[in-house]
Structure 1
Amino acid sequence: MSEQTQILWTPAGVNLPSLGSRALVDVSDGDTPNIRMPIRMLSIDTPEVTARSTERAAEIDNNFVELAEWIRSGVAPVEEAFGEYLVPKLESGNAGTLHFSQGKHASEFHKDIVEKRLSRPSSDRKRNLFIRGAESSFDGYGRLLAYVAPSYSKKERDEMSRRERATFNLDLIESGWAAPFIIFPNIPGELDLPLFLEMAVDAVKEKRGQYQDPLSLPGYEYRMCEKLYSITKKLVDGESIPYREQLRWRSRYCADMRSRELFGPEDYFEIPEPYRLWIWPDDVQRAIGMLNLVPSSRH
């Protein structure tokens, strides 16, 4: 069972801006072209498959071992406490390979659950998708930020529990193949957040998916470590980098949804993973005012 949170939020509706350049799929009638576009699923983060191959994943294994050595020696621009948290994950010798494998498992699970839940019990015709956009419609890569679920009729919805009609986002959280990754202001609503947290807590407790290995890197940590490796390697090679640029590997602040305490970018590890609420620097003041956040008493 998840702990009680102090966050109450009603998501705002959205008007979608220009979609820019998108691939045309087909034209269904004179005024309806159908386009193809990527969706970045809200509030979750699955392991990356950007290594593309086992060979590249093995190279990342070695890079992360090297990064662990740089952290231990004080070369990497990392605070001591965060370094102590991170090093065991990096020096395992298989951090990249493990992450790549988990990313492929997450992708397969997603494909399987989509196939299962879009199938109709008495028809070969697949269900359509229901897509709920975010207050901030697109990410920096032009992907639509959204919750995605099978589209059910009103009659079907009336006969289903909230869990039965839940999003694919929640399915991935329950499976353990996605880490919770709620970013302000795109917070699940007051009825959805408790269910989301319950599923996230259970996935960790029951060691599902990526939580089978305690040294797993959630997607956001993996990406941070890739950036940190790149920056630190430049420093080791003698390149001069302004201090502000050295810290570009991390940027988001993090709040504890149970206590409303606000932590710095390298202190998030003190919050159990399901209860982390991420906040971009430009949104910190707004989040403090709207959520009544308070500075962490531990720092």
Structure 2
Amino acid sequence: MSDVAIFWDPKGMELDSLRSKRYLRATDGDTPYISVSIRMLSIDTPEVHYPGNSKPSRQDDNLRQLAKWIKDGIAPVDSELGDYLYPKLASGKAGSLQEEQGKKATEVFKDLVEEKLTRPGSKKKRSVFLRVADQPFDRYGRLLAYMAPNYKKDERNSMTPKERGTFNLLMVETGWAAPFPIYPNLPKHSDLVLFQATGKEAYEEKRGIWGDPLTLAGYEFRMCVRLYETTRKLIKGRKLSDTEKSSWVTRFCVDVTTRRVYYPQQYYKVKPYNRIFIWPEDVREAVGMLNLLPSG
């Protein structure tokens, strides 16, 4: 029997349980380097693979059917949200558009990385600077972070906050990423102000995904796929609880300009660049911490 008298069994988590990690190198006997995926905070780009590893374009027919169910009053969705979603789904190409935009967003991100990490007059690339969230990992074990080029001090001193912005901000600026801040992993006030202004500019100038009126932000596309699955279960006669019927959309939404909180199915009432999302279990805390108000 062990002589150890202290019992400690931390919950912990397995990094990125979706797959194993690639070993890169070791600098000494207790410092290995491995590859770890990063989920960039406060942004959401269109999906290239969803659900799972399937192509979004495979959802075209399903989402067109969902539009019909919404029109017929079968889908468990509020009428006003249904009216907002209907034309985007009835086109019959909601999934294909999502996939096309996802591929473009990937290209834009890669181009930004190449541009910003290239040192003028040098073949040596800049390293990257990471700032992690208060909650460092998401439910899939991905590191939640803001990622930026690691500029030298003299470079930073000659640049505006926007010029030395994170890749998260730069993607919003291009219009190929929708703002997607989720409490409590929010940027500090000055960064949130810049983030909102940048998102508003991209939206109003119809850059990237905002140039197509049929666009579904990545989180909206995922939401609609879940709504389709929920509605299909109901049509097949499955008995679902009220919680199960509404499980396709659960995050509350806050307007950063008014501090008003909207129920999950009311998020569309807030402009995309003014949205902050809150998980149901965090609403009580967020109301106090952010001094939020009911939507009225």
TM-score using structure 1 length: 0.89
CA distance in 1, matches of 2:66, 2:73: 11
* Distance change in 2, residues 1:226/1:135 (3 Å): same
Deviation at 1:137, TM superposition (A): 0.8
2:180 maps to: 181
Percent identical: 49
Show the 5 A alignment for 1:139-154: 139-154=138-153
Partner of 1:131: 130
In structure 1, the partner of 2:155 is 156
Give, in angstroms, the shift of residue 22 of structure 1: 3.6
* Partner amino acid, structure 2, of 1:237: K
* Counterpart check, 1:257 vs 2:238: no
1:294 aligned partner, one-letter code: L
Where do residues 48-63 of structure 1 align in structure 2 (5 Å cutoff)?
A: 48-51=47-50, 56-63=55-62
Over 3 Å counting, the alpha-carbon distance change for 1:27 and 1:184 in structure 2 is: same
Q: Please give the alpha-carbon distance, in whole angstroms, between the structure 1 residues aligned to 2:28 and 2:121.
A: 29
Displacement of 1:231 after TM fit?
1.1
> Does structure 2 retain, via aligned residues, the 8 Å contact 1:51–1:100?
no
- Higher relative CO (Cα under 8 Å, sequence separation at least 6) belongs to 1
State how many pairs are aligned: 279
1:233 aligns with 2:232: yes
Equivalent residue number for residue 120 of structure 1: 119
Worse overlay, 17-26 or 140-149: 17-26
Q: Output the CA distance in 1 between the equivalents of 2:219 and 2:21.
A: 27
The amino acid across from 1:89 in the alignment is K
2-structure distance, mates of 1:57, 1:103: 9
Query: Matches of 1:56 and 1:257 in 2, distance apart?
Result: 34
SS of 1:191 mapped into structure 2: helix
Q: Distance in 1 between matches of 2:14 and 2:55?
A: 33
Per-residue CA distance 1:186-227 (angstroms, 9 max, x = gap)? 121122112111110111111110011011000000000011
1:23 positional shift: 2.8
Is the 1:47–1:102 Cα contact (8 Å) retained in structure 2? yes
Instruction: Determine the structure 1 residue equivalent to 2:269.
Output: 270
2:187 alignment partner AA = P
1:279 corresponds to: 278
Aligned-partner Cα distance in 2 for 1:129–1:171: 14
Matches of 1:18 and 1:221 in 2, distance apart? 28
Alpha-carbon offset, residue 234 of structure 1: 1.4
Q: Secondary structure at the match of 2:189?
A: coil
Q: What SS does the corresponding residue of 2:148 show, helix, strand or coil? A: strand
What residue in structure 2 maps to residue 70 of structure 1? 69
Return the alpha-carbon distance in structure 2 between the equivalents of residues 51 and 42 of structure 1.
19
| C-alpha RMSD of matched pairs (Å) | 1.6
Q: 1:260-284 CA deviation, whole Å, 9 max, x = no partner?
A: 1110000011111100110000110
Question: Which residue of structure 2 lines up, in the alignment, with residue 290 of structure 1?
Answer: 289
Query: How many Å separate the matches in 2 of 1:35 and 1:122?
Result: 30
Matched residue of 1:63: which SS? helix
Specify the alignment match of 2:4 in structure 1.
none
Once the two structures are superposed, residues 100-127 of structure 1 have per-residue CA deviations (whole angstroms, 9 ceiling, x without a partner) of: 0000000000001001111111221111
SS in structure 2 at match of 1:266: helix
Contact 2:39 2:143 in 1 (8 A): yes
Q: How do 1:181-220 and structure 2 match up within 5 A?
A: 181-220=180-219
1:45, CA displacement in angstroms? Answer: 0.3
**Counterparts of 1:279 and 1:56 in 2: how far apart (Å)?**
28
2:127 partner amino acid: N
Could you say if the C-alpha distance between residues 51 and 249 of structure 1 is closer, same or farther in structure 2, counting changes exceeding 3 Å?
Answer: closer
Unaligned runs of 5+ in 1: 1-16
Unaligned runs of 5+ in 2: 1-11
- How many angstroms does 1:57 deviate by? 4.0
Counterpart-to-counterpart distance in 1, 2:88 and 2:13: 41
- Whether the aligned pair in 1 keeps the contact of 2:26 and 2:32 (CA below 8 Å) is yes
The alignment's TM-score, normalised by the length of structure 2, stands at: 0.90
Aligned-residue offset at 1:131: 0.2
